[in-house]
Amino acid sequence: MGARASIPDIVIGRLPIYLRALDRMIQEEKDYTSSHELGERLGISSAQIRKDLSHFGEFGKQGTGYNVQFLYEQIRHILKVDREWLMALVGVGDLGHAIADYRGFKARGFRIVALFDADPVKVGERIGDLTILPMEQLSAEIRHLGIRIAMIAVPAAEAQAVADRLIEAGVTALLNYAPITLAVPVGVRVQYIDPAAHLQHMTYYLAP
């Protein structure tokens, strides 16, 4: 297949998982894998993996399976992560600091190039080779750098207002660390990082 017809979002959400596993296989210097092996590692059925991939093209060979490096590059291309993305971070408190220092972003092609904070005391402070800018410069800086992805690490009460400003400045993808659901116009994507919510999900299954 490989049609351009709208592909289920849930499928897109699994591609980064496949990417993680393939990354690992590359480190293990594995040349080939199969839907069965991938599925085993990920706790996903092999049929699901084949079906997911079939939305985008034919990447495997019957009898042989998938070339790890090739599949890795194909998925990176599909997800558009075969390039570097520039990001802004709003809110540089404890959490924001940790996000700014987190190595997992650059390692996968996401580079933070702008920091903003509403606190005048923090403005001007340097983190790595970046200077924290005041909120007043947010729109201009984001437009100037052509940033389309932003991370929000401000208190819940301010997150919606920050999101509104970012969207107004042209951002269309938000990674929100504040424990609140954001209202955004169509065309803007939001993903949430809420570790406590994940814990709450698991406690349901724990014995009293």
47 near a copy of itself (CB under 8 A): no
Residue in 36, 50, 55, 108 binding a copy of itself, rule: CB under 8 A: 108
Instruction: Output 7 or 79, the one with its CB closest to DNA.
Output: 7
Q: Which two tokens stand for residue 8?
A: 């289920």
Helices (H), 60-194: 68-78, 94-101, 103-106, 138-145, 156-168
Q: Is 105 left (phi over 0), alpha (psi -120 to 50) or beta?
A: alpha
* Total chain residues near DNA (CB under 7 A): 26
Considering the complex, what minimum distance in angstroms separates the CB of residue 62 from a copy of itself? 26
131 near a copy of itself (CB under 8 A): no
- Which run of H or of E encompasses 36? helix 35-42
Give SS3 for 126: strand
Considering the complex, what minimum distance in angstroms separates the CB of residue 58 from DNA? 3
Instruction: Output 44 or 193, the one with its CB closest to DNA.
Output: 44
Considering the complex, what minimum distance in angstroms separates the CB of residue 191 from DNA? 16
**Burial state string for 139-155 with b = 16 or more CB within 10 A and e = fewer than 16:** eebbeeeebbbbbbbbe
Query: In the window 149-188, what residues touch a copy of itself (CB under 8 A)?
Result: 149, 151, 156, 172-173, 175, 179-181, 183
Q: Spell out, one character per residue from 59 to 78, where the chain touches DNA: x when CB under 7 A holds, - when not.
A: xxxxxxxx------------
**Residue (of 45, 10, 42) closest to 23 by Cα position:** 42
Of these partners, DNA, a copy of itself, none, which one is at the site of residue 35 (CB under 5 to 8 Å by kind)? DNA
Beta strands 149-152; 126-127: pairing state: unpaired
CA distances from 122 to 101, 144, 167, 168 (A): 16, 22, 23, 24
Task: Give the sign of the dihedral formed by CA 4, CA 13, CA 184, CA 149.
Answer: negative
| Chain residues that interact with DNA, rule: CB under 7 A | 1, 8-11, 34-36, 44-48, 50-51, 53-54, 58-66
| Chain residues that interact with a copy of itself, rule: CB under 8 A | 12-13, 15-17, 19-21, 23-24, 41-43, 78-81, 85, 87, 94-95, 97-99, 101-105, 107-108, 110, 148-149, 151, 156, 172-173, 175, 179-181, 183, 189, 191-206, 208
